Structure 1
Amino acid sequence: MLAVRYGRNREQIADDVAAGLADVAPLGRFALANPDIVERLRSNAPLNEVDPSTLYGGGADGYTDYPALAHA
């Protein structure tokens, strides 16, 4: 089962799973901008903002240069 809604914020991405409407919550752009998305969600860390100008541009910008969480 999969339910997709666009434009949701961090607090809303798992609503469909919690409500029993879906088995998976799509992360889309959140995953593109956060190479460590699982760790960020687990620790409630801030998410990197997506730079839309780099999406699907044919280069590495926006795909390989988003920062990961710093480990102290």
Structure 2
Amino acid sequence: MIQNGSFDAETAARFVAEGKADAISFGRPYIANPDLVTRFRHGLPLAEANFDYAYVGEEKGYTDYPAFAG
């Protein structure tokens, strides 16, 4: 079973470890974090998506979020 919805790295790992899911999918966090796996793996902070631009039919707000540079 694949779960989705408001998971972070910790809650996702716990759900899989407890057998509540076989996998966790992430949708919205990927919009602002093209390097989401790296951020989760290294405990880096997540960027916040600007939903003023999301789902309006242009590339702004989808292709211009940078990878973590801390």
| TM-score, normalised via structure 1 length | 0.78
Whose strand proportion is higher, 1 or 2? 2
| TM-score, normalised via structure 2 length | 0.80
Report what 1:3 is aligned to.
3
What amino acid is aligned across from residue 57 of structure 1 in structure 2?
A: V
Residue 8 (structure 1) shift: 4.1
On the 8 A contact 2:12/2:24 being kept in 1, the answer is yes
Give unmatched runs, 5+ long, in structure 1: none
Give unmatched runs, 5+ long, in structure 2: none
Instruction: Choose 14-23 or 38-47, whichever is displaced more.
Output: 14-23
Report what 1:51 is aligned to.
50
Identity of aligned residues (%): 43
Residue 68 (structure 1) shift: 0.6
Aligned residues: 70
